[in-house]
Amino acid sequence: MPALIKGERLTRRYGKVLAVDDVSLHVDGGEIVGFLGPNGAGKTTTIKMLVGLLKPDKGNISICGLDLTRESTMAKSRLGYVPDTPHLYEKLTTVEFLNFAAQVFRVAPDVAKKRIDDLIELFDLGESARKLISSLSHGTKQKVSLAATVLHRPDALLLDEPTGGLDPRATRKIKDVILELARGGRAVMLSTHILEIAESMCDRIYIIDKGRIIAEGDPEKLKQSVKTSSSLEELFIDLTGGSEYDEVLKYLAD
Amino acid sequence: MLAILLKYRIRMLFSIFRGRARIGRTLAVILASLALIFGIVLSCLGIYIAVKADPVVGMGLLEILIAASFHGIFVLLLFTGLSLAIFTIFFGGDLELLFSLPLDSRTIFMYKFIESIALNARFAFLFLAPVLMLAGIVFDAVIWYYFTAVIITVLLAAIPGSLGIIFSAIIARHISRARMKNTMAVAGAFLGIGIWIAINAALNAFDDGGARDFPLNFQAVGLISSPLFAYLPSGWAYNAAVASVHGNWLSSITPFSLLAVSSLVLSYLAMAVTARHYRNGIVGESQEASLVRSSRSSVGRSPFLACMRRDLILLYRQPQVLVQIAPTLILLFLFPLIAGKNLPGSLGDMAVSSPTALFALVFGSQLSSRQIPLERLGFCWNLMISGGIRLALLAKITLGLAFVLICSVLVGSAHILVGAAPGVAYIIHLSSFALIGYGIGLPIGLIFADFNWDHPKRMLRGGGGFLLIASTMLSGFVSYLATFLLEKFIPATVTLPAFAAIVLTVAMIITSLKMENFEWVI
């Protein structure tokens, strides 16, 4: 399948700070790609550029073959994004928010109604359906965010730490949904700090550090490529500054 | 510790001068400050020249200005004090952090007390200082007058702030945070009605002959020289300031003492209720479910209507935003009724007096500047959906213009019906000023939007609020003067709508360009 999410030589600065430096990546249809990196490595900035929330200083982005800058309307209609913190309209109810999402993504009313009912059932949002979003827990808000994102059946999905702060049951639910979406031929790019999720779910991973991609490939092959790494966690620590952790441990022991 | 907390709070206030685009923002704030200072200095200079030309009338006019400033600031602070105290002291977003720090609860409450009073009173100093200084210069006051004037201003500002804290403590004990905003809306409405009744009572006192002996013959004089105002703290402040500027220190003792005692007593009470409240821990977010009774599950076809519906729901469920705009609308409605046809300030063929024009401008700018941050963090959805930016902007402008026009036409018609305004031209002029204000507020509302606001007063970041006031006043001054100057060639009924159309077009272009390039860095 062709690459549904493609970023070429993306560069982005915040003033003097080079947040993302010449990053190229792609996600094919039916593929789940993990995007790993320590805090402040440039993951969220890269994802925000791929979604169109930030403009790259250099580089090109295409979604489903559509240029995100020149054909942004078409590209965005095929895209879904779940941010690390669910940014929702706190003063709308769950149902009102899902209705709004369906309407602005131009889902036909009868189709939307059925999908909203299905998603409420799938994500166990029945009790929260008529409550204001401001009164929901973080996990429930995250589920509402994901439900609104998949409502228009996007071909490409970018998920920024979708399981952050969720309980094991909610995490499992979201993992199942992601796997199901990939099975349906969608491209899923997933940023996460939980390496177990990356190891078990992702077909490929990118590791980013200090704004640059430092490793890319199949998790198993990557582990083999670094002889000292028996797990993805060890590989990650090795590549992104294990010596710093040793120093911290030494300091704490003292 | 208190000094450290205050130092960082002040640093937060000046955060506008840091971060990205700081040069542009700094320049904008400097320009707006210069415009405001220029306006104030120009007004003071005008009064100074009037005093020198006709000392009797001029000095009377100056005393009226001092009285109007004290009463105006007092009423304004009463409006803002309550809501600011609630959202600073009792439901402040930083309380959880403060209480988790190794800080004495007395330090926290002193910090929050000072923060609430200072935030409420900051504009009081800006507007009162030049007037009181001018009075000192005109009446050749001794140096001690200036110190007394500062103390009087501080004491006066502390009263509405303390009242706000006391009432908000009572409200916060009995009402959950979820219901607080609706309660505030009701409280604001009652306060507005109370002030309206007080003004009417004062006006009746004037009709009975209260100000018949006053040298200047217009109703505003009678209104502020009414005996009713002598019982208000702003009346004590006025009497103390006027007596001390003339060097009558003995006469100033009684009003000054009344002001000082009431200010100190109320401040003490405010501190006591705050301390008691903090001893019981912080009031957290209500856990009660916010169940919405009629949450319709219908999905329409039009994305544009979806955006409009969303904005309407957000406005309805965040009534404190409308409460912030309501006082200006109330003043816009009441002012011409109170002042009548004798209101000074109308130039040439202009049907609307300058204060009424200013209220219309402020009303328009307040609404438009809040329409974008109204969405809070959910605003990023507009950037993610296809064509969302244009849809959102179009929906907001349609809704905003409809609201501004409906309100202006209704208010204007009411004024015409009771004979307080000349005719249809009045409605056209009034609506045009409101639309100019709307155009001014729209780009400022986007450029300075704070999507993470906890109180409608903080919907604009850094100097955004200040820039809004300054540019609204400046645009009003320019359009008013330009219409007057062009009057010989083009009638005001044509010039003003044309100005409004130009301002709106430019505002829409700037806002849409900024929105197209908007980046979500939160």
**CA B66 to CA B239: how far, in whole Å?**
10
Mean pLDDT of B285-305: 63
Q: Give the residue from A89, A98, A138, A160 with the most B CB atoms within 10 Å of its CB, the best one to mutate.
A: A89
Using the 3D structure, point to which of B251, B284, B317 is the last residue of a domain. Answer: B284
Q: Does the structure show a pLDDT above 50 at B284?
A: no
Which residues, other chains included, contact B161 with Cβ-Cβ below 8 Å and sequence gap of 6+?
Answer: B77, B81, B84, B85, B116, B117, B120, B121, B270
- Confirm whether B7 is domain-assigned: no
Whole-number Cα distances in Å, B87 to A237, B135, B457: 44, 36, 10
CA distance B228 to chain A (A): 43
DSSP B35-68: HHHHHHHHHHHHHHHHHHH-HHHHHHHHHHHHHH
Q: What pLDDT score does B326 carry?
A: 82
- Confirm whether B120 is domain-assigned: yes
Q: Answer positive or negative: Cα dihedral of A34, A38, A44, A47.
A: negative
How confident is residue B335, by pLDDT bands cut at 50, 70 and 90?
confident
Q: Please answer whether residues A104 and B303 qualify as being in contact, where contact means their C-beta atoms are separated by less than 8 angstroms.
A: yes
B313, A91: Cβ pair inside 8 Å? Answer: yes
In a shared domain, residues B371 and B279: no
Q: Does the structure show a pLDDT above 70 at B182?
A: no
Contacts of A108 in chain B (CB under 8 A): 301
Q: Please answer whether residues B188 and B327 qualify as being in contact, where contact means their C-beta atoms are separated by less than 8 angstroms.
A: yes
In a shared domain, residues B156 and B274: yes
CA distance A85 to chain B (A): 10
A87, B377: Cβ pair inside 8 Å? Answer: yes
Mean pLDDT of B383-401: 88
- Domain count for chain B: 3
How confident is residue B204, by pLDDT bands cut at 50, 70 and 90?
low
Give B21 or A132, the one with higher predicted confidence.
A132
Number of Cβ within a 10 Å radius of residue A251? 8
Q: What pLDDT score does B428 carry?
A: 93
Q: What pLDDT score does A187 carry?
A: 95
Whole-number Cα distances in Å, B91 to A190, B165, B180, B327: 36, 12, 10, 23
Contacts of B310 in chain A (CB under 8 A): 89, 92, 100
A99, B521: Cβ pair inside 8 Å? Answer: no
- Report the share of chain A in percent with pLDDT over 70: 93
B31-52 pLDDT, tens digit each = 777 777 777 777 777 777 777 7
- Confirm whether B393 is domain-assigned: yes
**CA B18 to CA A179: how far, in whole Å?**
44
Q: Does A51 touch chain B (CB under 8 A)?
A: yes
How confident is residue A189, by pLDDT bands cut at 50, 70 and 90?
very high
B464, two tokens: 């955004």
Q: Please answer whether residues B333 and B434 qualify as being in contact, where contact means their C-beta atoms are separated by less than 8 angstroms.
A: no
Structural domain of B23: 13-42
CA distance B258 to chain A (A): 46
In a shared domain, residues B114 and B236: yes
Of B292, B307, B377, Cβ closest to residue A104: B307
**CA B146 to CA A78: how far, in whole Å?**
67
A113, B303: Cβ pair inside 8 Å? Answer: no
In a shared domain, residues B344 and B446: yes
- Confirm whether A128 is domain-assigned: no
**Residue among B74, B86, B54 nearest B156 (CA):** B74
Number of Cβ within a 10 Å radius of residue B244? 28
In a shared domain, residues B279 and B314: no
Mean pLDDT of A34-63: 91
CA distance A22 to chain B (A): 20
Mean pLDDT of A179-192: 92
Contacts of B288 in chain A (CB under 8 A): 135
Q: What pLDDT score does A247 carry?
A: 66
Of A53, A76, A89, Cβ closest to residue B520: A53
B301, A109: Cβ pair inside 8 Å? Answer: yes
* CA trace torsion B294, B295, B300, B304 (10° rounding): 100
- Report the share of chain B in percent with pLDDT over 90: 19
A-B interface: how many C-beta pairs under 8 angstroms?
121
Q: What is the mean pLDDT of chain B?
A: 79
- Confirm whether A175 is domain-assigned: no
Give A10 or B389, the one with higher predicted confidence.
A10
Of B295, B318, B378, Cβ closest to residue A130: B295
CA distance B454 to chain A (A): 12
Q: What is the chain A residue with the closest CA to B519?
A: A54
Mean pLDDT of B255-277: 87
Q: What pLDDT score does B490 carry?
A: 87
In the block, which residue shows the tokens 């685009």?
A: B21
Q: Does the structure show a pLDDT above 60 at B215?
A: no
In a shared domain, residues B373 and B485: yes
Q: What is the mean pLDDT of chain A?
A: 87
- Confirm whether A41 is domain-assigned: yes
CA distance B316 to chain A (A): 9
The ipTM estimated for the assembled molecules is 0.79
Mean pLDDT of A213-231: 77
Mean pLDDT of A137-150: 90
- Confirm whether A98 is domain-assigned: no
In a shared domain, residues B274 and B334: no
In a shared domain, residues B334 and B403: yes
How confident is residue A5, by pLDDT bands cut at 50, 70 and 90?
very high
- Domain count for chain A: 1
Q: Does A72 touch chain B (CB under 8 A)?
A: yes
Q: Please answer whether residues B103 and B68 qualify as being in contact, where contact means their C-beta atoms are separated by less than 8 angstroms.
A: no
CA distance A80 to chain B (A): 8
How confident is residue B210, by pLDDT bands cut at 50, 70 and 90?
very low
Structural domain of A230: 1-78+187-254
A132, B317: Cβ pair inside 8 Å? Answer: yes
- Report the share of chain B in percent with pLDDT over 70: 79
Mean pLDDT of B75-85: 76
Q: Does the structure show a pLDDT above 90 at B290?
A: no
Contacts of B391 in chain A (CB under 8 A): 104
B408-454 pLDDT, tens digit each = 999 999 888 887 777 888 999 999 999 999 999 999 999 999 998 87
**CA A185 to CA A30: how far, in whole Å?**
4
- Confirm whether B2 is domain-assigned: no
In a shared domain, residues B38 and B65: no
Contacts of A134 in chain B (CB under 8 A): 290
Number of Cβ within a 10 Å radius of residue A164? 17
Q: What pLDDT score does A229 carry?
A: 62
Q: Give the residue from B386, B453, B521 with the most A CB atoms within 10 Å of its CB, the best one to mutate.
A: B386
In a shared domain, residues B203 and B338: no
CATH (domain of A32): 3.40.50.300
Burial of B27 (0-12, 13-18, 19+ CB in 10 A): exposed
Please state which of the ranges A45-54, B318-327, B486-495 shows the lowest mean pLDDT. Answer: B318-327
Q: What pLDDT score does A45 carry?
A: 92
How confident is residue B219, by pLDDT bands cut at 50, 70 and 90?
low
**Residue among B510, B312, B503 nearest B400 (CA):** B312
In a shared domain, residues B61 and B186: yes
A109, B299: Cβ pair inside 8 Å? Answer: yes
A72-128 pLDDT, tens digit each = 888 888 999 998 888 889 888 899 999 988 988 889 999 999 999 999 998 889 999
Give B79 or A114, the one with higher predicted confidence.
A114
- Confirm whether B350 is domain-assigned: yes
- Confirm whether B49 is domain-assigned: no
In a shared domain, residues B339 and B446: yes
- Confirm whether A174 is domain-assigned: no
Of B292, B305, B384, Cβ closest to residue A76: B384
Distance of CA B77 to the CA centre of its chain: 9
- Confirm whether A54 is domain-assigned: yes
A100, B292: Cβ pair inside 8 Å? Answer: no
- Confirm whether B357 is domain-assigned: yes
Q: Answer positive or negative: Cα dihedral of B411, B412, B413, B415.
A: positive
B135-175 pLDDT, tens digit each = 888 888 888 888 998 899 888 888 888 888 888 777 777 76
Q: Does the structure show a pLDDT above 70 at B221?
A: no
Helix B424-447 / helix B388-417 crossing angle, nearest 10 deg: 150
A64, two tokens: 């489903």
**CA B375 to CA A104: how far, in whole Å?**
15
**Residue among A96, A82, A67 nearest A147 (CA):** A82
Q: What pLDDT score does A193 carry?
A: 83
A134, B300: Cβ pair inside 8 Å? Answer: no
- Confirm whether A86 is domain-assigned: no
**CA B67 to CA B16: how far, in whole Å?**
34
Q: What are B283-286's contacts with CB under 8 Å, separation 24+?
A: B283/B90, B283/B91, B283/B172, B283/B177, B284/B177, B285/B177, B285/B178, B286/B176, B286/B177, B286/B178, B286/B179
Q: What pLDDT score does B186 carry?
A: 66
B124, two tokens: 């009081």
- Confirm whether A56 is domain-assigned: yes
